[in-house]
Amino acid sequence: MGAKFLCCLPLRLGVLVIAFIQFVITGGAAGLVWWLLIEKNNETQLTTKLKASIVLIAVVYTASALISLTGFIGALAKKLGAIKTYLFVLYATLGFQIAVTIFALVNYYRLRGTSGPDCTVTSGGTTVNLCQEYAKISQGAVIVTVIVPIIIQAYACYIVAAYKNRLIKQKLDRSSVAMQTSVNPVYAPVPVTKDSPHRRTPILHIHILANPAARSYQPANDDYNGYPPSTSIGAYSDHHSPQQIMDPFFDDDDDNIPDSAFGRPRPMESQESGLPLTRSAVPPAGTGPSKVSFGDGVPRGWNFDDVDFQPAGAPPIRASKTSAPARKRRWRWKWPWQKEKVLVGERVIALNNSAANADFCSNFISTSKYNLATFIPKFLLEQFSKYANLFFLFTACIQQIPGVSPTNRYTTIAPLAVVLLASAFKEVQEDLKRHQSDSELNARKAKVLSDHSAFVDKKWKDIAVGDLVRLESDDFIPADMILISSSEPEGLCYIETSNLDGETNLKIKQASPHTSALTSPSLVTTLRGSLRSEQPNNSLYTYEGTLDLITSEGMPKQVPLGPDQILLRGAQIRNTPWVYGLTVFTGHETKLMRNATAAPIKRTAVEKQVNVQIVFLFILLLALSVGSTIGSSIRLWFFSSQQWYLFESSTLSGRAKGFVEDILTFVILYNNLIPISLIVTMEVVKFQQAQLINSDLDMYYARTDTPALCRTSSLVEELGQIEYVFSDKTGTLTCNEMEFRCCSAAGVGYADVVDETKRDTEEGGDGWKTFAEMKALLEQNANPFVQIASGSGTDASDEREREVLQEFLTLLAVCHTVIPEQRDGKTVFQASSPDEAALVAGAELLGYQFHTRKPKSVFVNIQGQSQEFEILNVCEFNSTRKRMSTVVRGPDGKIKLYTKGADTVILERLSKNQPYTDKTLAHLETYALEGLRTLCVAYREISEEEYRQWSAIYNQAASTINGRGDALDAAAELIEKELFLLGATAIEDKLQDGVPDTIHTLQMAGIKVWVLTGDRQETAINIGMSCRLISESMNLVIVNEENARDTEDFLSKRLNAIKNQRNSGELEDLALIIDGKSLGFALEKDISKVFLELAIMCKAVICCRVSPLQKALVVKLVKKNQKAILLAIGDGANDVSMIQAAHVGVGISGVEGLQAARSADVAISQFRYLKKLLLVHGAWSYRRLSTLILYSFYKNIVLYMTQFWYSFFNNFSGQIAYESWTLSLYNVVFTVLPPLVIGVFDQFVSARILDRYPQLYMLGQKNEFFTKTSFWLWIGNALYHSIVLYGFSVILFWGDLKQASGLDSGHWFWGTTLYLAVLITVLGKAALISDLWTKYTVAAIPGSLVFTMLFLPLYAAVAPAIGFSTEYAGIVPHLWTNWVFYFVLLLVPIFCLSRDFAWKYYRRTYKPLSYHIAQELQKYNIPDYRPRQEQFQKAIKKVRATQRMRRNRGFAFSQTENAGKQDQAKLIRAYDTSKSHSRPSGY
């Protein structure tokens, strides 16, 4: 048992209660004690010693009240850092409390036994003996009074310490536990009892542990829990985990990592049915061979045939009490810290009964950071996490104490309020954009079936659970829905899930055979019954539910539902005229939103470092304040007799009170050592830098009229410190467009446009030809199946080439699983693989148009004539075979085998004496070098006898129950031999413009690029090579393991081998490629460190087949273990978690919608813009912010340290050296422009130089401009300047200057001179550190000096005249006409800055940094001779690439596979596109 508050309550509740009670008690006690001491000092009958004791106790109580707020906020937000701080101060307070209590008890017992004058106190003519009064007080009461608070405080320390330990344990262990229970079920603890059903079903229980949503779902009658569900605990009840039932507000555990993060199945594939047709329908939920269930597929006592129902006499189906849904009201108040309540039981949705579904949540979604209720607490929490704001709040509070502040009580709180209002305005502006995006999304329209059996338009936010929605082609799915029916045969439909998993190839969904015939509103409205569904969860790839229907005869009927029937929000309907969907989950209960994370509060590394520096300056401020207070105390205690003209208190209580007041006074006096203008200046500068990014025409994409948009301006400086870029592939690096670029047929290369260098070879023949030339060659013989007479004069080679071309194009038009569709007079190809659609489109371009598919044949229009090809058999593609074959009977009656696949598997199946192999291989190498996806095609003729024998073997394999896929593969091997190589194809997965150059430049800048994609491994590797992420010289480390142990062994062995290799001096560039399953194991706690160490050693990392949450977990792994700034870039909704997990998120506002761009910190329209965003804007912003912060600290320390040196000359009295309003204008007016202009316009080198020399970006990665050393050097320089300025001014004004009238010049004469000398020095320093002088720089630095010299005499003349400030009375004619004044203003700043100038000269001349040299190159425009070297390196790389491609070519064939279920053949035989006009309209 863990620790509990008061033995039974949660620890978090205990911390909240303790902090609140502590605040109330200690705050009230502190207020009472201070009131007694200050207001009732003369009436309080206490001795001097007890007064001192009570003063100390009051200080302790005040501190306790303040820190209790920290503890309360920390427990409220579950912030480990705040809890640690609270606990530390609790311990310190406990120790101090014990010491003070001992001191008070000692004084108490001393007074009990004391007599004499010290005991008597006279008040109002009455003499009281305090010693006798104390003797009357019970000792027990005194001891209890002082000991009980200590005991309570000690118990509070224990509770808070226990809660801190729990938070630490959760932080370390929660991901490991979730991974083990969801990735590797072997590790999941299975509690087994004698009578437990899990004794026989461990696999089921393992899934229950891994998937919380499945724990409470009751499947449609299984072996252990029949239907209807009984009230007893069933197999899906989580009776082993009673600790799960806990009030969500006081739940001490964090949210579990979703099970979809690890070991995901193939994208969007059915885990139950494998896309069945009518005769192989999806088995009942919970009973089929799915991931989450087991059994023979048919529950006992039920028959799901359309005619045969439950035998007569069976009890009617009705939901039991346990199957009632755990509903929640539509509108319910929820505290910001309250966790989502875990829903138990089943979700029961009534069909065609909207009133019964009213309690489910709405479809309204919000991705904003704030709302009206949470803005103030969230905003204040974020702002006061900045120590500067916290310090100024403290200063503003103590300024309200009368008699303590030497300045006006509003001089700090007013600027602080302005700073907070400015920050609030910026936050509101940025969040309003998010609200606007949400409003646009919520206002989209969809067609919903009304009560009158007609479809009406409804906004997305108004769609409710149970609504039946009609979706049309290219519509986005507004909520999670069950597919009821569609316009396609067998209820099929195509969806694109690029917003979910990043894949652009289409996925196939299929309605249940029991509902696929409901193709009109009138038929759908006849549905009666309910849908029993699992509760909302975040697993994208699983679903279980059951439709409990009542037939027209009143008989019950169950329809099982699985992943095949679920349409997820965020996906898009493709190539399907219409579908009907039944809404199951809406709004934030959809699986997409369950995978999303809340918009985080991001703080930059520079801000964190500024916080630390402010702490250092605060310590310095306290030291100066304590030092000044000690000086004041020495004056008071030891020299008070010499200063008899000052009224000073000589009592101990008066001196103690004076000591505390003096400390507060000097804290207020020196508080501007921490510049209050710094925060607002940083906010303004960051906002302006964001505007510069937004207005950069180099990052404007004219095609879509999309500029760059910096949504979170507070992160701009981190753009200059990025060390890792995590990128999605689809839509981010590529354009989501497949294009048929080239082909090789009969040994001749063909392309749309042929470069002159490829048209003629050195031998004078076999040059490349255009597609037009190919068509001209084919058109010489109008009928491709009529042989040319031998005496026709046609060249024999041309004739042979023509025959090969005809077979080549026929193969492209016939060997595929594409389904054609006529739309607006054009043929649109429905393909589950974009490669296949591109190949068919390429054949159409060359005159072989595939236009009709029937169940047993396809029709191809060849040069104006429609030819029919009978499809006899299809041997499908899978990752083992890497090829696809089709057996067809042509119009001439001949049987041919057409095969296409990776060249590595095609070449080994060719017959001997191939005429075109060498030429085809040469073309393949050329294609691979250009990053194209290559494919070999071959064929052979099959005799009738051979086909008859093979067909019998194939049919026998197809009827195999166990191992059917392997049997079909073996059958295919028998016929896929002795092939004739026709040629090869090359498809371009078009990269975005400039992607290869951008990635190469980023790598030169020291940035490591990791690609996290949902695509297949071969596709990802191919794209990695084409975009120069993987170079030809890299060694690939490929991880494809099936379990955690093998993954750990492989990673450990490779890591040790690489370490040994590098220790021996061999350095080799590595690229790590890991698939999603292995990555799930690699992210486990025990293996993650090994995986990360190996990945960091690699120059490039590609993670394939990863889920959206895995992307975020990879980012978080690097973020947690590396002190590096991370950037994530993506374009789809599947990238949102990754974008929000990184320090900086960049969204591509491209084809895939705007969800990633809306959730990102910066939105750009092309990946290539990332180069300028980081190398130019990022580097500039980091340099500007660093200089601004250091300069802001410097200018304030220079001025306010002169005040400290002056304290030694003014008897530590707190007298200020400068006129108060002039002092206030220092930060607000006189020195406000230089840091602003430096922060907005300064450029340490130009954009051209930064682009030419990307290595300069490493300065930001190494934090060269904002190190601890540079901070303390600036502080030391400021101290030096303040000492020189103050010292020279004192020496020159020693003994005071005598005026012509014989009077002394006075205090304000000297103070104003020193003030202006400080100002000129500070402005001169700004001029020295400015790298670029513009008109704004001139206006800011010399302009500020000119303005001050004009404004100050005017103010000094006008202010005394109107009675506003009398210090400057009569000073103008004397000061501005005195030569000493001008001598000080010229001599002292020059002397101060001479050291800075000399140091700058020395650094640039003898120890220059890289950017110093770049500045010289820029100034003198020195040419760069590197292009010659680059040309030489390109030639070397081409040779290496050729060598490499010979070893690793032919892997880029992308196709959808179904794990041996061979469903594509069944799928295409379900279509008859010649009857497309007879499809139902859906109305």
Residues acting as catalytic residues: 728
Is 308 marked within a binding site?
A: no
Say how far apart CA 407 and CA 395 lie, in whole Å: 11
1135 is known to lie in a ligand binding site:
yes
Under a CB-based contact definition with an 8 Å cutoff, are residues 867 and 849 in contact? Answer: no
Phi, psi of 836 (to 5 degrees): -60, -45
How far, in Å, are 112, 132, 135 from residue 108 at the CA level?
A: 6, 12, 9
Q: Partners of 576 in the beta sheet?
A: none
Backbone phi, psi, residue 983, to 5°: 160, -150
Which H or E element spans position 490?
none
Binding site annotation covers 900?
yes
CB atoms within 10 A of CB 983: 26
DSSP letters of 926-994?
Answer: HHHHTT-EEEEEEEEEE-HHHHHHHHHHHHHHHT-STTHHHHHHHHHHHHS-SBEEEEEEEEEEEEPTT
CA-to-CA distance for 853 and 836, rounded, in angstroms? Answer: 15
What is the 3-class SS of 427-489, one letter each residue? HHHHHHHHHHHHHHHHCCEEEEECCCCCEEEEEHHHCCCCCEEEEECCCECCCEEEEEEECCH
Q: 1013 labelled as ligand-binding?
A: yes
Q: CA 1210 to CA 628: how far, in whole Å?
A: 11
Whether 975 and 887 have beta carbons less than 8 Å apart is answered as yes
Distance CA(312)–CA(852), nearest Å, equals: 48
Q: At residue 207, what is the residue type?
A: H
| Residue 451 annotated in ligand binding | no
Question: 3-class SS at 713?
Answer: helix
Report whether 1046 belongs to an annotated binding site: no
909 a known binding residue? no
Side-chain half-sphere exposure of 292, counting CA atoms within 13 A: 32
919 is an annotated ligand-binding site residue: no
Cβ(484)–Cβ(511) under 8 Å? yes
What backbone phi and psi angles, to 5 degrees, belong to 624? Answer: -65, -40
Q: Where are the beta strands (DSSP E) in 1063-1168?
A: 1070-1074, 1100-1103, 1125-1130, 1144-1148, 1162-1164
In a 3-state reduction of DSSP, which class is residue 15? helix
Does 1086 show up as a binding residue in the annotation?
no
729 is annotated as contributing to ligand binding: yes
Q: Which of 1433, 1428, 1432, 1437 is nearest to 929 (CA)?
A: 1437
Decide: 829 and 835 in contact? Cβ < 8 Å.
no
DSSP string, 1020-1049: HHHHHHHTTSS-TTPEEEEE--SSHHHHHH
Strands 734-745 and 980-991: antiparallel
Q: Two tokens at 293?
A: 């269930």
> Has 369 been labeled as part of a binding site?
no
User: Comparing C-alpha atoms, which of 533, 561, 170 is closest to residue 323?
Assistant: 533
Residues 6+ apart with CB under 8 A from 1006: 723, 1255, 1257, 1258, 1261
Helix axes 48-77, 80-112, angle to 10 degrees: 160
Tokens of 257: 């990592």
3-state secondary structure 66-134: HHHHHHHHHHHHCCHHHHHHHHHHHHHHHHHHHHHHHHHHHHHHHHHCCCCHHHEEEECCEEEEHHHHH
> Of all helices (H) and strands (E), which one includes residue 1377?
none
- How far, CA to CA in Å, does 589 sit from each of 334, 689, 1155, 1319? 15, 38, 17, 60
CA distance 272 to 546: 14
**Phi, psi dihedral angles at 556 (to 5 degrees):** -75, 150
- Which amino acids are annotated as binding site for ATP, given as ranges? 728-730, 836, 877, 900, 933, 1013-1015, 1105, 1111, 1134-1135
Annotated binding site: 728-730, 836, 877, 900, 933, 1013-1015, 1105, 1111, 1131, 1134-1135
Q: Which residues are annotated as a binding site for Mg(2+)?
A: 728, 730, 1131, 1135
